[in-house]
Amino acid sequence: MLPPHGGRLVNRVLPDEEKDGAVKTSTEYPRLEVNEDLAKDIENIAYGVFSPLEGFLCRNDFEKVVHQKRLSNDLPWTLPIVLDASPQEYRGVRGGDTITLTDPQGAPIALLKVDEVYGYDKRDLALNVYGTVDPAHPGVAKTFAMKERLLGGRITLIQRSPDEFQKYRLTPMETRVLFKEKGWNTVVGFQTRNIPHLGHEYVQKTALTFVDGLFINPVIGKKKVGDFKDEVILEAYEALIRHYYLKDLAVMAILRTEMRYAGPREAIFHAIIRKNFGCTHFVVGRDHAGVGKFYPPYAAQEIFNEFPDLGITPLFFKAFFFCRKCGTVVNEKICPHDPSFRTDFSGTGLRQKLSKGEAPPTELIRPEVAEVLLKWKDPFVE
Amino acid sequence: MPSGFTLPKSPPRQKVPRMREQYVTLSIPKPLYERAQRAIEGTGFRSVTEYAVFLLRESLSLKPGDSVKERLRALGYID
């Protein structure tokens, strides 16, 4: 198993016996409310998912990450994990101060030991991280809506958020113990935001052929209208694993973080996260973490050339489809037949079928998975 | 004492380690100590020290990661 990124699994979680005292003490500090996405980032930092980060980036690391895709110690890191604040929120806050980060209801989530408060260039940030300043890109829109200053410093998690998916919430420490218990020396991580179809299954099983175990790691969080609900995705995967995978070779746990849609940079970020979970390999397909047509289809694979020191091994897959001539799921590299034989895995087509209560073709979706999808009255985010 | 009787020489005094050389002192946060004091009220533990020694011996008999394994087992990830 690979060591965590940076060599050590970060643990910024307050021990249980200190929590009550910390909750009381937290009322003495200035308070800053964070949204759901930031709350997830805080937990990810605290439990080591974002190792080696121990808090929100300070200016030096921020500038290096934005412009050079590395931390100031030269460790690969491609997405800035930052905490923004408005003038009202950071007024009077200086380096050395402690502030309490709260949820929208005012409950304390974490303490932040502020190292510095600094300004930044939003346009420069968007252009470097997303490769564009087009406001149609969701990441660009979010960047320009960020507040004026950034607060850098270490966090200490006081309280973990409640979540209905507790069964699937494993920390990197837990996944590492799990993989070791299963006797897995090599593990491939698979990221998904969707219900499983045969294309996904094909990629997972091809990857699994070369390693000891498969770690299916759906990203759970903010959804767009028309996406499948998180609970539908998890139940669909449970059905797939139960019926089509050897019990000791595949496990699933969730990753709670927002999608940035930063394409290539986010592919590296996602690979680092799975390295922290204990994976030795990571699947990168066509247009990983992309949106619209902002990134060339295989840019998220090519960027790995810039990081020979990443540690985790990417497994690259070309676009896959069902070929009626081959009679199975294939990809561009291994199918010699005319495109007229292809059936693409179309999300739109699938939604249309399900909306009518019809099971999709079995060459696209396993019947057991279709049964799960059809069981839900409203499987889509509205 | 009868004459000619000689008391046997006392064996050389053996060096017995003093009590304090058999123990080390650990520091724990005061809130934790107070919490432990409350926890042992009405139990058979006479002091927090006795309780801490008991817990430490118990936890050392487990391998690291056992509590994590228990959670994984409870969630169905391992048998």
- Per-residue pLDDT, averaged over A248-258, amounts to 96
CA distance A281 to A215: 10
Predicted pLDDT at B7: 58
Q: B55 in a domain, yes or no?
A: yes
Contact A177 B29 (CB under 8 A): no
Contact A18 B29 (CB under 8 A): yes
In this prediction, residue B1 has a pLDDT band, given cuts at 50, 70 and 90, of: very low
- The structural domain count of chain B equals 1
Predicted pLDDT at A206: 95
CA distance B21 to chain A (A): 31
CATH topology of domain A16-157: Sulfate adenylyltransferase (3.10.400)
- Is B32 near chain A, with CB under 8 Å? yes
Question: Is the pLDDT higher at B20 or at A361?
Answer: A361
Q: What is the ipTM of this complex?
A: 0.77
CA distance A368 to A242: 10
A305 labelled catalytic: no
Other C-beta atoms closer than 10 Å to the C-beta of A381 total 14
- Per-residue pLDDT, averaged over A127-143, amounts to 97
CA distance A8 to A21: 28
Q: Which of B29, B31, B68 is the closest to A174 by Cβ? A: B68
CA A36 centroid distance within chain = 15
- Is B73 near chain A, with CB under 8 Å? no
Q: B7 in a domain, yes or no?
A: no
A193 labelled catalytic: yes
Predicted pLDDT at A16: 82
Indicate the pTM of the whole model.
0.85
C-alpha dist (Å) from residue A4 to A84, A187, B43: 27, 14, 43
Q: Which of A17, A177, A251 is the closest to B65 by Cβ? A: A177
Comma-separated ranges of CATH 3.40.50.620 domains in chain A: 167-375
Contact B31 A18 (CB under 8 A): yes
Contact B72 A182 (CB under 8 A): no
* pLDDT exceeds 90 at position A162: no
For B51, the domain range is 21-74
CA distance A78 to A81: 9
Q: Which of B32, B35, B77 is the closest to A178 by Cβ? A: B77
- Is A24 near chain B, with CB under 8 Å? no
User: Which of A143, A192, A217, A280 is labelled catalytic?
Assistant: A192
- Is A124 near chain B, with CB under 8 Å? no
C-alpha dist (Å) from residue A239 to A234, A283, A368: 9, 21, 6
In this prediction, residue A118 has a pLDDT band, given cuts at 50, 70 and 90, of: very high
Q: B4 in a domain, yes or no?
A: no
Q: B47 in a domain, yes or no?
A: yes
- Per-residue pLDDT, averaged over B30-53, amounts to 88
Q: State the average pLDDT for chain A.
A: 94
A12 labelled catalytic: no
Predicted pLDDT at A238: 96
DSSP state, residue A365? S
A110-138 in b/e burial notation, b at 16+ Cβ within 10 A?
bbbebbbbbebeeeebbebbbbbeeeebb
Question: What CATH number should be reported for the domain whose range is A167-375?
Answer: 3.40.50.620
* pLDDT exceeds 50 at position A58: yes
